[in-house]
Chain A
């Protein structure tokens, strides 16, 4: 259906046609016509954030928890530059975002006009694709293509820069049937021959391991179901990256926990010693591999990824499969069931015995305390008290994030929103706003640190304005904990600028924002305090005062291999579990 409308109206119409219900944004001079268009409609609800970075993170939380595209609207110049952190975050974690930026009128572009910046130039390296629309005739096609590109293939953020005169200009709007970029065709079907080879390899494995990532989550709920089924059918152990938590239920005995720098001993040792590695939707990030020349030296590697550039980027693999996880998993499952040869039962039993021995080391152990809240204990209690509810967890970045990943057992995909690739402190609070908006009746908790949360603290105001009862659970150790930990372990205990000086009183701060503040500093009071937090139907800032000196273990120091982990002193000693020589478990 063709209709004449202004460019500004097209922006909103295209969103409505794409099924967008919520738009996160902040007005400014160069987007006023679009705000005018928002004013006179009610298909798309605009959520006013307090900072553009918050808008993108909120949209990310929205997108990650629903699988839909998150939408952002910001003005030119500072609006666009403020959004850059969020866009980069979305690019690194493959989150579908469409971000509309205002721009100065076309005749002023390049003139150093007020609030002008080279938005497409600045956002080129931090988006999957971006556009500057200079003709009203191009706008409808560009807007719809932006959604297509953001959500297809490996998802990512797309920026559409719309000059103010184009917003005012009138043109014919219709939903396009084809897109300008005919060369963009992501491959989603995996090569059947390669999948056959992969299944052969899996069937002949003696020490196999699944290593999965965020790609499984991005592929949709079906992919997680298929993965779970395949893992159970094969009987292989499974580990996952930070981004992939929830794709396989954490309560399952085949689950080894997260791998990588702060992963469990059993996951990392299994990675090191396996003979067939089945990597699905993960990208061999440096936080996963550790020292690359000592990474899983004896294994044949299968790698399923929708992005061909992820394959053979860091680690050479033996069976590369380019395709969407759900498609490939379905094919794998079909071939596995039909496959005559099944893995050697005796070898598998031996492998599991080894894995159980590693698990027996209890690498996540910590020394409990009666006087002071251990951060791990806080997460454990939070998990116990919320696991039977409809709960979504977001995090900031640092120790609390790793403890959340280690101790919060995710049973389903899309329940865990964290900044993995970019590691953006300040991600969790605005993300929780986006998640709560998408799931109004759910319990949404941002597991935070007192340093991270202050980076985007102002978004609590957004939560209050839209009555979004997010719970900000701050593990307050008065340090930038992960920085402090590195300084302790690697920089001779010189705690340079990692102490959180002049902290606000979070309870009073919550009250100032018309939210609710709760403080808890005694392990004995924790359960009641968490319960109180859950029961309050308002945004809550929970100041959980925890042990200042607790470190996050296990840890693979940089430049070390998987079998060179540092364990906390509470873990079971080496000789009580395994006695393999040459493993320097310091």
Chain B
């Protein structure tokens, strides 16, 4: 596409788009005032400026101070990731934006509930695999299980893939929560 753009003179208002750069995935922890509309501001910023959201988790974390933690996994070029962080930082109800990927020592977890339906050997196999993945059974009928699994996204991903041929019905995932190792807070 860019090759074509060079051949024909541009009649656009704007310079041609920059050529593709390396994409990175980053996990951002965003500490915000827990007030109406704050999530809409964050999401509106992402959609309005054309950024990606791969995972989003929001919950109040400090009730007394009315603070919520938003954890966002996003992808973009290093320059775009930099932009996302400073754009977020500009929003009035936002206290801090921490790039957990850059701090390097953060732990990321997510929880999934996985519903599997099957009989006989399939059912036993599902249970066996669940055990290997340290997934817990949180609901069971004679023809189904619901497993609860916690871990890194790729582990959850892998478990879901294994359940696919064993009668996977549906999955509910929380998205990623992240925290820094060691004694320091955000």
Task: For residue B76, give the distance in angstroms from its CB to the closest CB of chain A.
Answer: 13
What are the residues of chain A within 8 A of B40 when measuring CB–CB? 121, 124
Partner of B15, one of A181, A183, A292, A490: A292
- Asked if A289 meets B15 with Cβ closer than 8 Å, knowing A181-B33, A559-B10, the reply is yes
The DSSP consensus for interface residues of chain B is mixed
What are the residues of chain A within 8 A of B11 when measuring CB–CB? 490-491, 558
Q: Which of A269-277, A309-317, A395-403 contacts B (4 or more CB under 8 A)?
A: A309-317
Q: Is the CB of B15 within 8 A of A286?
A: yes
Q: Is the CB of B89 within 8 A of A309?
A: yes
What are the residues of chain A within 8 A of B91 when measuring CB–CB? 129
> Mask for B8-19, Cβ within 8 A of A = 1, else 0?
011111111010
Q: Does B136 belong to the interface (CB within 8 Å)?
A: no
Cα distance A120–B82 when bound, in Å?
27
What are the residues of chain A within 8 A of B15 when measuring CB–CB? 286, 289-292, 558-559
Closest to B13 in A: A558
- Asked if A308 meets B9 with Cβ closer than 8 Å, knowing A125-B44, A183-B33, A558-B15, the reply is no
Q: Does B94 belong to the interface (CB within 8 Å)?
A: yes
Task: For residue A510, give the distance in angstroms from its CB to the closest CB of chain B.
Answer: 34
- Asked if A312 meets B82 with Cβ closer than 8 Å, knowing A132-B36, A291-B16, the reply is yes
Which residues B23-64 have CB closer than 8 A to chain A? 31-33, 36-37, 40-41, 44, 48
- Asked if A309 meets B90 with Cβ closer than 8 Å, knowing A124-B41, A291-B16, the reply is yes
Which residues A307-332 have CB closer than 8 A to chain B? 307-309, 311-313, 316
What are the residues of chain A within 8 A of B5 when measuring CB–CB? 559
Which residues A163-202 have CB closer than 8 A to chain B? 180-184
What are the residues of chain B within 8 A of A182 when measuring CB–CB? 95
Cα distance A183–B33 when bound, in Å?
8
Q: Is the CB of B92 within 8 A of A309?
A: no
Q: Does A488 belong to the interface (CB within 8 Å)?
A: no
Q: Does A128 belong to the interface (CB within 8 Å)?
A: yes
Cα distance A429–B89 when bound, in Å?
36
Closest to B14 in A: A286
Partner of A183, one of B83, B86, B96: B96
- Asked if A308 meets B79 with Cβ closer than 8 Å, knowing A286-B14, A292-B15, the reply is no
Q: Does B87 belong to the interface (CB within 8 Å)?
A: yes
Which residues A483-502 have CB closer than 8 A to chain B? 490-491
Q: Does B93 belong to the interface (CB within 8 Å)?
A: yes
- Asked if A125 meets B92 with Cβ closer than 8 Å, knowing A132-B36, A557-B9, the reply is no
What are the residues of chain B within 8 A of A313 when measuring CB–CB? 83
Cα distance A125–B36 when bound, in Å?
16
What are the residues of chain B within 8 A of A87 when measuring CB–CB? none
Task: For residue A261, give the distance in angstroms from its CB to the closest CB of chain B.
Answer: 10
Closest to B95 in A: A183
Which residues B69-110 have CB closer than 8 A to chain A? 79, 82-83, 86-87, 89-96
Task: For residue B58, give the distance in angstroms from its CB to the closest CB of chain A.
Answer: 16
Q: How large is the interface on A (under 10, 10 to 19, 20 to 34, 35 or more residues)?
A: 20 to 34
What are the residues of chain A within 8 A of B32 when measuring CB–CB? 183
Q: Is the CB of A558 within 8 A of B12?
A: yes
Cα distance A129–B44 when bound, in Å?
13
Q: How large is the interface on B (under 10, 10 to 19, 20 to 34, 35 or more residues)?
A: 20 to 34
Q: Does A293 belong to the interface (CB within 8 Å)?
A: yes
What are the residues of chain A within 8 A of B44 when measuring CB–CB? 124-125
Q: Is the CB of A307 within 8 A of B14?
A: no
Partner of B48, one of A120, A125, A290, A311: A125
Q: Does A545 belong to the interface (CB within 8 Å)?
A: no
Partner of A124, one of B37, B90, B96: B37
What are the residues of chain B within 8 A of A417 when measuring CB–CB? none
Cα distance A274–B90 when bound, in Å?
32
Task: For residue A84, give the distance in angstroms from its CB to the closest CB of chain B.
Answer: 14
Task: For residue B70, give the distance in angstroms from its CB to the closest CB of chain A.
Answer: 13
Task: For residue B156, give the distance in angstroms from its CB to the closest CB of chain A.
Answer: 33
Task: For residue B41, give the distance in angstroms from its CB to the closest CB of chain A.
Answer: 6
- Asked if A558 meets B14 with Cβ closer than 8 Å, knowing A124-B37, A309-B83, A316-B79, the reply is yes
Q: Is the CB of A309 within 8 A of B86?
A: yes
Partner of A558, one of B10, B41, B92, B95: B10
Task: For residue A155, give the distance in angstroms from its CB to the closest CB of chain B.
Answer: 13
Which residues A295-354 have CB closer than 8 A to chain B? 307-309, 311-313, 316
Closest to B92 in A: A129
Closest to B17 in A: A292
Which residues A455-488 have CB closer than 8 A to chain B? none
Cα distance A183–B186 when bound, in Å?
14
Cα distance A534–B12 when bound, in Å?
41
Q: Is the CB of A183 within 8 A of B18?
A: no
Q: Is the CB of B94 within 8 A of A183?
A: yes
Q: Does A149 belong to the interface (CB within 8 Å)?
A: yes
Partner of A308, one of B33, B86, B92, B95: B86
Closest to A489 in B: B11
Cα distance A121–B83 when bound, in Å?
23
Closest to B49 in A: A125
Cα distance A17–B115 when bound, in Å?
61
Q: Is the CB of B92 within 8 A of A149?
A: yes
Q: Is the CB of A183 within 8 A of B93?
A: yes
Q: Is the CB of B79 within 8 A of A312?
A: yes
The listed residue with most A CB atoms (<10 A of its CB), out of B32, B40, B79, B90, is B90
Q: List 27 A-B contacts (CB under 8 A).
A: A120-B37, A121-B40, A124-B37, A124-B40, A124-B44, A181-B33, A181-B92, A183-B31, A183-B92, A183-B93, A286-B13, A289-B15, A291-B16, A293-B18, A308-B86, A308-B90, A309-B90, A311-B86, A312-B82, A313-B83, A316-B79, A490-B9, A557-B9, A557-B10, A559-B9, A559-B10, A559-B12
> Contacts A124-B41, A181-B33 given; 5 further ones with Cβ under 8 A?
A309-B90, A316-B79, A558-B14, A558-B15, A559-B10
User: Using a CB–CB distance below 8 Å, which chain A residues touch chain B?
Assistant: 120-121, 124-125, 128-129, 132, 149, 180-184, 286, 289-293, 307-309, 311-313, 316, 490-491, 557-559
The 5 A-B pairs with the shortest beta carbon distances in the complex, nearest first, are A559-B10, A183-B95, A309-B86, A129-B92, A490-B11
